[in-house]
Amino acid sequence: MTDRYASFVQSAAGRALVKRLGLPDPPRLRRHHPGDPLLAGPALLGAATGGRLAEPIAEILTAAGVELADPAATPQRYGALLFDATGITDSTELRQLYDFFHPQARAVLPSGRVIVLGTPPQECATPREATAQRALEGLVRSIGKEFGRGTTAQLVYVTRAGNAAADGPDLSAGTHTGLASTLRFILSGRSAYVSGQVIRVGGGAASTPADWDRPLDGQVVLVTGAARGIGAALAKVLARDGAKVVALDIPAAGDALAAVANDIGGTAVQLDLTAPDAPTRLAEHLASRHGRVEVVVHNAGITRDKTLGRMDADRWDQVIDVNLSSQERINDMLLERELIPAGGRIISVSSIAGIAGNRGQTNYATSKAGVIGLVDSLAPALRARGISVNAVAPGFIETRLTARIPLVVREAGRRMNSLAQGGLPVDVAETIGWLAWPASGAVSGNVVRVCGQSLLGA
Ligand SMILES: NC(=O)c1ccc[n+]([C@@H]2O[C@H](COP(=O)([O-])OP(=O)(O)OC[C@H]3O[C@@H](n4cnc5c(N)ncnc54)[C@H](O)[C@@H]3O)[C@@H](O)[C@H]2O)c1
């Protein structure tokens, strides 16, 4: 599915018309290609007085080959602006954010990155500190809406080192692995369609990959619904990153599934996830072929739209079963048989419909909100086993699913976000990829929207 308007806008005639009529102006987003540098220009790093993260961040950036800009140098253009706000303990100190960002507001290169790092408010020592740290969200979300030209903005709450030491990696200990994977993801073109997000890092073990271009080397990854759309893109991205992919879909999609699996050197499993024996058959397949599965991606999903008054019970039941209950049954089986080892990952695909609700989608939105509940409840329960649980919530992604939406509604859905365009299946896949990396063990219990900072449910 192509966005013809976005292609037109990037032509000379299109640019002129957009300017003259003040039409939406979707920028061309920077997307990841193996071997790409993380950023198109140097990063400017600032910190509030007393912050605890500037040093680890500088080390992570340097190790990743990012050039750190000299703040005293003549005005220049930046690939990213990063600010360590962990030193802010009172609202009166928020002024330091203005002092850092105001002079640079026009100095960010296209598809640039803005990252603010803070302390989770619930970990703060005083109500005033918690208040000031919570305030960071408003700044970040507004920058995401203001800076334009493909620039994204995220807030990363990093657990205090003391807490992490008891419960996972100590970010002051020198390796900084827990934070490295998240910073690398956000800075790179992998996060092209992720903006306005609050990401929590802390707890859980993380390891550094031998090669950051193959961060999933040797990992066995199950992708459900892999025959087409987001699932097919997922299989491709995860295989590119080094994973051994087990691609699953319904028998009726067997040919398309085989094509995806062959293309990436993975294996195909034809299975209807709602079949009563599906969890056992899947567990037996994984046990006999691989002995384990490090990463489980619950991507398969269906819609059966009708307003509630017109919806028959079958539509309700099918959607809840495919999108939610089957995930629970499969998780239970794989966990019970200990097929997901320590360091394992469970990643579910939710939707912004599960956050905002949607007319005609009571069944779908219920199932997708349930997926968020699954993350909230399972992540703390599985922490002790070293397994992380996260979800991504896609917004408008250019697939067959969205191609079926009536034209006017589709056009509105596409433009109603800070990047003025729909995302691509690869954008969802790259975000799931990051959560799957062994290096991302400190990221658990998150629901990350891949929606270009959609206005829906914001
Ligand atoms: N496309 C979007 O804009 C969008 C937005 C938000 C969320 N999502 C979610 O992303 C996921 C993928 O969406 P997509 O757009 O690629 O959809 P899609 O319909 O193109 O692909 C879904 C795949 O899941 C498979 N599947 C369905 N029922 C199954 C079952 N019982 N057992 C095994 N496989 C089954 C289908 O055969 C299909 O190959 C879904 O969970 C969807 O709800 C998509």
Boundary of a domain, candidates 141, 166, 201: 201
Q: Which of 1, 228, 234 most suits a substitution to test ligand 1, by most atoms within 8 Å of the C-beta?
A: 228
Q: Is residue 19 part of a domain?
A: no
Q: Which of 159, 174, 201 is the last residue of a domain?
A: 201
CA of 344 to the centre of ligand 1 (A): 23
Same domain, 161 and 232: no
On whether residue 210 sits in a domain, the answer given is no
The finding on whether 388 has its CB within 6 A of some atom of ligand 1 is: no
Would you say residue 7 lies in a domain?
A: no
Say if 391 falls within a structural domain.
Answer: yes
Please answer whether residues 423 and 395 qualify as being in contact, where contact means their C-beta atoms are separated by less than 8 angstroms: yes
Tell whether 269 and 413 lie within a shared domain: yes
Chain position carrying tokens 């294996």: 267
- Mapping DSSP onto H, E and C, the string for the chain reads CCCHHHHHHCCHHHHHHHHHHCCCCCCCCCCCCCCCCCCCCCEEEEECCCCCCHHHHHHHHHHCCCCECCCCCCCCCEEEEEEECCCCCCHHHHHHHHHHHHHHCCCEEEEEEEEEEECCHHHCCCHHHHHHHHHHHHHHHHHHHHCCCCCEEEEEEECCHHHHHHHCCCCCCCCCHHHHHHHHHHHCHHHCCCCCEEEEECCCCCCCCCCCCCCCCCCEEEEECCCCHHHHHHHHHHHHCCCEEEEEECHHHHHHHHHHHHHHCCEEEECCCCCCCHHHHHHHHHHHHCCCCCEEEECCCCCCCCCHHHCCHHHHHHHHHHHHHHHHHHHHHHHHCCCCCCCCEEEEECCCHHHHCCCCCHHHHHHHHHHHHHHHHHHHHHHCCCCEEEEEEECCECCHHHHCCCHHHHHHHHHCECCCCCECHHHHHHHHHHHHCHHHCCCCCCEEEECCCECCCC
* Residue 364 bears catalytic tag: yes
Same domain, 149 and 295: no
- At 1 the pLDDT is 55
User: Which pLDDT score is estimated for 160?
Assistant: 87
Give the residue carrying structure tokens 């790093």.
45
Question: How open is the CA angle 198-53-92, to the nearest 5 degrees?
Answer: 75
235 CA distance to ligand 1 middle (Å): 13
- Residue 162 has a pLDDT of 44
Residue 183 sits in the same domain as residue 227: no
Q: Are residues 237 and 369 in the same domain?
A: yes
Q: How confident is the model at residue 10, as a pLDDT?
A: 73
Q: Which atom of ligand 1 is nearest to the CA of 228?
A: 39
Q: Which atom of ligand 1 is nearest to the CA of 272?
A: 32
Phi, psi of 187 (to 5 degrees): -65, -35
Assess whether the C-beta atom of 351 lies below 6 angstroms from ligand 1: yes
Which atom number of ligand 1 is nearest to the Cα of residue 275? 31
Catalytic residue among 5, 157, 193, 364: 364
Mutate to test the pocket of ligand 1, among 401, 426, 431, 454 (most ligand atoms within 8 A of CB): 401
**Residue 443 contacts residue 204 (beta carbons within 8 Å):** yes
Any atom of ligand 1 within 6 Å of the Cβ of 402: yes
Is there a domain that residue 8 lies in? no
Burial class (CB in 10 A: 0-12, 13-18, 19+), 21: exposed
| 249 CB within 6 A, ligand 1 | yes
pLDDT for res 405: 84
- Long-range CB contact pairs, 331-335, < 8 A, 24+: 331/296, 331/374, 331/378, 332/279, 333/279, 333/280, 333/282, 333/283, 334/279, 334/282, 334/283, 334/286, 334/293, 334/296, 335/382, 335/385, 335/387
What integer pLDDT is reported at residue 24 of this predicted model?
Answer: 72
Beta sheet of 78-84, edge-to-edge order: 43-47, 78-84, 108-118, 152-158, 197-201
Distance CA 405, CA 93 (A): 47
- pLDDT per position in the chain (458 positions), as tens? 567 777 777 777 766 666 666 667 899 999 999 999 999 999 999 999 999 999 999 999 999 999 999 888 877 899 999 999 999 999 999 999 999 999 999 999 999 999 999 999 999 999 999 999 999 999 999 999 999 999 999 999 999 864 443 444 444 443 466 899 999 999 999 999 999 999 999 977 888 899 999 999 999 999 999 999 999 999 999 999 999 999 999 999 999 999 999 999 999 999 999 999 999 999 999 999 999 999 999 999 999 999 999 999 999 999 999 999 999 999 999 999 999 999 999 999 999 999 999 999 999 999 999 999 999 999 999 999 999 999 999 999 999 878 888 888 888 889 999 999 999 999 999 999 999 999 999 999 999 999 999 998 87
Query: Using a 6 Å cutoff on CB, does residue 250 contact ligand 1?
Result: yes
From the CA of 180, how far away is ligand 1's center (Å)? Answer: 31
Indicate if 193 and 280 belong to the same structural domain. no
Residues 420 and 373 in one domain: yes
Domain tally, the chain? 2
**Ligand 1 atom at minimal distance to the Cα of residue 350:** 7
316 with 421, same domain: the answer is yes
Say if residue 248 is in the same domain as residue 188: no
Is 272's C-beta closer than 6 angstroms to any atom of ligand 1? yes
Residue 61, pLDDT score: 96
Indicate the residue type of 193: Y
Question: What CATH number does residue 242 fall under?
Answer: 3.40.50.720
Give the domain range for residue 283. 220-450
Cα torsion 249, 251, 252, 254 to 10°: value is 70
Q: What is the pLDDT of residue 173?
A: 41
Is the distance from the beta carbon of residue 322 to the nearest atom of ligand 1 less than 6 Å?
yes
- Closest residue CA from atom 42 of ligand 1: 301
Asked if residue 401 has its Cβ within 6 Å of ligand 1, the reply is: yes
Kindly state whether residues 350 and 285 are assigned to the same domain.
yes
Asked if the structure places residue 192 within a domain, the reply is yes
Nearest-10 Cα torsion for 451, 393, 239, 419: 0
Cα separation values, 58 from 14, 47, 147, 252, 334, Å: 41, 11, 24, 51, 40
Spatial separation of the C-alpha atoms in residues 260 and 230, rounded to whole Å: 12
How much is the pLDDT for 170? 45
Inside any domain, residue 18: no
Q: Which residue CA neighbors atom 44 of ligand 1 most closely?
A: 394
**The ligand 1 atom nearest the CA atom of 321:** 31
Based on the fold, state whether residues 419 and 282 are members of the same structural domain: yes
274 C-beta closer than 6 A to ligand 1 = yes
- Closest atom of ligand 1 to 368 CA is 43
Is the beta carbon of 299 within 6 A of some atom in ligand 1? yes
Q: Note whether residue 214 is domain-resident.
A: no
Residue 296 sits in the same domain as residue 445: yes
Rounded to whole angstroms, the Cα distance separating 384 from 393 reads 25
- Ligand 1 in reach of 301 Cβ (< 6 A): yes
Say how far apart CA 294 and CA 315 lie, in whole Å. Answer: 33
Q: 401 CA distance to ligand 1 centroid (A)?
A: 8
